[in-house]
Each structure stands twice: as C-alpha cells, then as structure tokens.
Amino acid sequence: MLYLLSELSGTLTPLNVFRYITFRTGGALFTAGFFVFWFGPWIISLLRLRQGKGQPIREDGPATHLTKRGTPTMGGLMILAGAVVSILLWTNPHNHYVWVTLAVTLGFGAIGFYDDYLKVTKQSHKGFSGRFRLLLEFAIAGAACLMISIYSPPALQNQLAFPVFKDALLNLGWFWVPFAAFVIVGAGNAVNITDGLDGLAIVPVMIACATFGVIAYLVGNVIYASYLQVNYVRDTGELAVVCGAVIGAGLGFLWFNAPPAQIFMGDTGSLALGGLLGSIAVAAKHEIVLAIVGGLFVLEIMSVIIQVLSFKLTGKRVFRMAPIHHHFEQKGWKEPQVVIRFWIIAVILALVGLATLKLR
C-alpha cells in the first residue's frame, strides 16, 4: 500500500523512501512488532476464555511440563495477524512472490488452526488425519511451486542450484515441482516438531528469516548477485520485507511466549512459519541452503523419524524421548538450557548458510 503511494507521488517527493526495500523491511518489522505487542494481551485473554483448559499436555512427557496446563494455544494467530497486516502495508502488491508466499503461509496456518481446534475441543493430542493433513499441505505447496516455476527466470526454471559451486545447476524438469513442494512441506512440519518448549521454535524461525531476508535481497539485486556470483532471481528482493514482518511479529510473540509462556504457538503458527521459510527458499533458489540454515529443524524432525524407524525395526529407542529436545530434558537439562543452547546452534548454522553466498 505504501509502495503504491510512492509510485503515485511522482519522482521528487519524500515518499520515494518507500521504494527502498531496506526501508520497507525495517518498517515492516516495527509495524508487525507493534501490532503484536499492542493486541497480544487481548488475543491471549480471548483465547484463554474460548479454550478453557488450553493445550493438552502429554502425560508421558517431562514432568515439569505438567505445570503448563491451562496455557492457551493458537498463538500463531498473533504472529500471522501482525505479519499479514505488515506485509500488506509495506510490500509491493505487484510482486508475485509475495502473494505466493502469503498463500502458502495462510494455507498452512489454516491447516494448523484446524488441528489445534480439534486438539483443544477434544482435549487430545490427536488432530485430524495425518495423511489427509499431508495431502492438503502438498496440494497447497504444489500449487505454489507451480506458480514459482512460472514466474522464475527461463534460465532457472525447474533448476536446482547448489551452494558453493558457481553456476552448478541440475535440471529436474517436471520433477522440480514435487521436489520443491517436499521442501515446503518438510519445512512446515520440521518447525512444527520443533515447537515443544517455550521460545524454542520462534527464535530459530526469526534467525532463519533474517538469514533468508538477506539472501532474498542479495539474490534479487542484479549487482550484488553478480558480485557474489549467485543466480540472479528478479523480484525476490521483495521477500526481504516479508521476512522483516515475520521477525517483528516473532519478537512481539516472544514477549508473551518467553518462559513461563503465557501462550503457545501451536500448529497454527509453526506450520505457517515453516511453510513461509520453505517457500522463500524455493523462490530464491536456495533450497539446499535452507537445510543448512534450518539445520536445527532438520535435526528435530530426523530425531522423530529415526526414533520411529528404530522402534519399529528393532523394538529399541535411540533417544530417551523424541523429538530430541525432550531427549536432553530427560538427560537432566533444564528447559532454559535446552532452549538457549538450541538458539546458539541456530545462530551458528545461519552463519554457515550465509557463508555459502561468498564461497564460490
């Protein structure tokens, strides 16, 4: 909206500042943060009133978690509301990548919301059918990837780019769409698995968003892309504004989610934010880098897969409890120790991911 005002104002007015991606990214961050800070208490009160007993707590989980009974969930609504308002206000409405990313985010958020709703109303950990949920996620992600493929530069269409290696591209042909959809769905579910402790998921999400905001900005700028010898993907720079909005909304949410949490993110937020990260990585042609930057999320979901496969094949468990953050809790780590140490890992992985831009 503000970008359109700058276009209508002509070329020699103070409103020209709204054309700069960096300025609008900062504006999006502060707008989303203010929105969540301002409306957060009201949203928490409303959810607490509507949900009653709040999110059900696992009886077989760490004993310390039983004190969290009654805490409302669906805090992702706070994040999505703040981010969407900010995105609509600060991004260029003519940018296709923004709308595709927004569609994935809201689509995954709706799936997570329905899952949270079933868990709260039934006071059970079982939402709706896992297979049907994955089917819906792949349908949304597949449609998004098809649109991204159409909007991609012809030279990069259906190509998988490799970090570190200059001009290393693998033409996946028609298989690129299901592959990219798998990246988005995998990212959504990996963040969802990670969201198990107060503040554990939102900070790594913000770190990953900051990283991909930088990547999207550089990849979408022909001068920087040429200097760094990375593939130039026109118009992806606008996704930096989207990342700024998510970081701002995340900071606002963290204020209320910090231990002891006043509200949980729930599937509403974790699925949506993971899908957003996946779609940005796909649009910017940095799918493999997402596995590095989001390595913490990969570790979390792989711990669950390994635990399930090991138990089915051998009858033995690799971890004391999965996901892996519960494993460390069972080993005696306090919740804040697990959370902060995982944050440190997320920062290190983000720096490694950013380093791939220069290593060519």
State the Cα–Cα distance between residues 135 and 157, nearest whole angstrom: 25
> Residue 263 — φ and ψ, nearest 5°?
-160, 150
What digits encode the pLDDT tens for the residues 207-254? 999 999 999 999 999 999 999 999 999 999 999 999 999 999 999 999
Mean pLDDT over residues 98-126, rounded? Answer: 89
Q: HSE (CB half, 13 Å, CA atoms) of 141?
A: 34
State the Cα–Cα distance between residues 308 and 181, nearest whole angstrom: 24
Q: What's the pTM value of the predicted model, to 2 decimals?
A: 0.92
What digits encode the pLDDT tens for the residues 150-174? 999 888 999 999 988 877 889 999 9
Q: Give the Cβ contact number of residue 313 at 10 Å.
A: 8
Mean pLDDT over residues 331-341, rounded? Answer: 93
Mean pLDDT over residues 17-31, rounded? Answer: 91
- Domain positions in the chain are 2-357
